[in-house]
């Protein structure tokens, strides 16, 4: 009996390990493809015409390559669930679709728990973070594309609130999404005094809290739990549009910020490919066409790629 139990346990562990290996074999395969493409490009470096050919060739070999974009599906308009189709869409995902179409990659839209984004990207479970991701202040943490959107962090309040300026926030309850750029802007102390203005402002609040997502924050503010929300302007505009007359935005922004696409640190090869395609899309007007779908959110005004 004892032996039987031991054998069964051992069997289960083996099965577990086998499944583990089986499950992780596909990214290894993806890796190999990218590695194969890399030396080819280095060899022909310096000869531009040849480089184009090799790029075309490497595209062919990478025909079945998947490109996994990690995003927060509760972050409209950059990534969210479409009302009518139920599919994941948004400005960033539309851009990613176009990049993949041009590169011949298969796009995998992977909604992730935003708090786990670093583990997700470092482990290779996703290829990039493309979701209105703030570049400012995180320059050294990832390998970035050039910024493509300029986003301010603003303060949203209930329309009937007596808060008009940042100074009026003294003694009020303020909230931001956990691990968001607004949260960073209010609480990050780089130690060199560069963020003291926002830190001092935060100190005047009666309370500052973080919350899992902004949708909750707005619902709770209208319920009176919070007086003000520190939030990226795109998200704020979306909430204003969806709930007409309910909220307004203070004139003074908390900070100006830029968005870019983040890759695992050191993955310049994939970054360069995406950047190159994005540049093409900016040059031929495709990005302008896509961003026009998001005029409601002020996105065309925020776009900086190709400007």
Partner 1 sequence: MGFMSIVQQIIGGFGTTLFIFFFTLLFSMPLGILFALARMSKFKPLNLFMQVCISILRGTPLMLQLIVVFFMPYYVFGIKLSTGWRVYAALIGFSINYAAYFGEIFRAGIQAVPVGQHEAAEVLGFTKTQTFFKIVFPQMVKRVVPPVTNEVITLVKDTSMAFAIAYAEMFTMAKQVAAQQSNIMPLFVAGLFYYIFNIIVAWVMGRIEKKLSYFE
Characterize 54-92 residue by residue with b for buried, 16 or more Cβ atoms within 10 angstroms of its Cβ, and e for exposed.
bbeebbeebeebebbbbbbbbbbbbbbeeeeeeebbbbb
Q: Could you give the 3-state DSSP secondary structure of residue 128?
A: strand
Nearest to 220 by CA among 88, 21, 228: 228
Q: Which region among 112-120, 168-176, 190-198, 266-274 touches partner 1 (by CB under 8 A)?
A: 112-120
Task: Lay out the site mask for partner 1 across 196-235 (x = CB under 8 A, - = otherwise).
Answer: -----------------xxx--xx----------------
Sign of the torsion angle spanned by Cα atoms 280, 282, 286, 290: positive
Does the protein bind partner 1 through residue 47 (CB under 8 A)?
A: no
Q: Virtual CA dihedral for 25, 70, 90, 210, nearest 10 degrees? A: 160
Our finding on whether 70 is near partner 1 (CB under 8 A) is: yes
The region of 42-50, 81-89, 129-137, 152-160 touching partner 1 under the rule CB under 8 A is: 81-89
Give the gyration radius of the chain's Cα atoms: 23
x/- map, 20-39, partner 1, by CB under 8 A: xx-xx-xxx-xx--------
Which two tokens mark 129?
Answer: 């973070």
Distance in Å, CB of 119 to partner 1, minimum: 5
Q: Between 188 and 222, whose beta carbon lies closer to partner 1?
A: 222
Q: Which residues, including other chains, have CB under 8 Å from residue 288's CB and lie 6 or more apart?
A: 282, 300, 303
Q: How far is the CB of 115 from partner 1 (least distance, A)?
A: 9
Instruction: Name the phi and psi angles at 297, rounded to 5.
Output: -105, 15
Q: State which residue, 27 or 147, has the beta carbon closest to partner 1.
A: 27
Q: What is the spatial distance between Cα 33 and Cα 43, in angstroms, rounded to a whole number? A: 16
**x-marked contacts with partner 1 along 243-272 as a string, rule CB under 8 A:** x-----------------------------
Please, which of residues 135-194 interact with partner 1 by CB under 8 A?
Answer: none
Considering the rule CB under 8 A, would residue 76 count as an interface residue with partner 1?
A: yes
93 or 201: whose CB is closer to partner 1? 93
CA angle at 287 for the pair 131 and 248, rounded to the nearest 5°: 55
CA-closest candidate to residue 127, choices 85, 180, 68: 68
Closest approach of partner 1 to the CB of residue 213, in Å: 6
- Is residue 295 a contact residue for partner 1 (CB under 8 A)? no
Residues that bind partner 1 (CB under 8 A): 1-2, 4-6, 8-9, 12, 16, 19-21, 23-24, 26-28, 30-31, 66, 68, 70, 73-76, 80-84, 86, 108, 110-113, 116, 119-120, 122-126, 213-215, 218-219, 238-239, 242-243
């Amino acid at each position: 009996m004892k032996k039987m139990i031991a054998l069964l346990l051992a069997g289960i562990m083996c099965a577990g390990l086998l499944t583990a290996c089986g499950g992780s074999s596909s990214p290894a395969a993806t890796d190999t493809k990218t590695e194969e493409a890399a030396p080819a490009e280095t060899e022909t470096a310096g000869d531009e015409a040849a480089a184009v050919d090799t790029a075309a060739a490497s595209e062919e070999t990478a025909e079945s390559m998947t490109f996994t974009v990690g995003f927060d599906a509760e972050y409209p308009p950059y990534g969210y669930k479409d009302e009518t189709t139920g599919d994941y869409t948004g400005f960033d995902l539309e851009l990613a679709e176009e990049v993949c179409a041009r590169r011949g990659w298969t796009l995998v839209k992977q909604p992730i728990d935003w708090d786990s984004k670093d583990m997700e990207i470092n482990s290779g479970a996703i290829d990039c973070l493309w979701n209105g991701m703030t570049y400012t202040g995180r320059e050294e943490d990832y390998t970035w594309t050039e910024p493509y959107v300029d986003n301010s962090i603003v303060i949203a309040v209930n329309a009937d609130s007596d808060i008009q300026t940042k100074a009026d926030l003294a003694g009020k309850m303020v909230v931001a999404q956990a691990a968001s750029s607004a949260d960073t802007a209010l609480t990050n102390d780089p130690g060199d005094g560069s963020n003291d203005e926002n830190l001092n402002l935060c100190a005047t609040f009666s309370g500052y809290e973080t919350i899992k997502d902004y949708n909750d924050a707005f619902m709770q503010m209208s319920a009176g739990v919070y007086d003000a929300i520190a939030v990226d302007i795109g998200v704020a505009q979306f909430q204003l549009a969806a709930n007409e007359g309910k909220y307004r935005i203070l004139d003074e922004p908390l900070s100006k910020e830029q968005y870019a696409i983040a890759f695992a640190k050191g993955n310049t090869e994939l970054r360069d490919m995406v950047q190159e395609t994005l540049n093409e899309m900016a040059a031929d007007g495709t990005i302008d066409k896509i961003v026009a779908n998001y005029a409601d959110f002020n996105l065309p005004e925020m776009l900086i790629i190709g400007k």
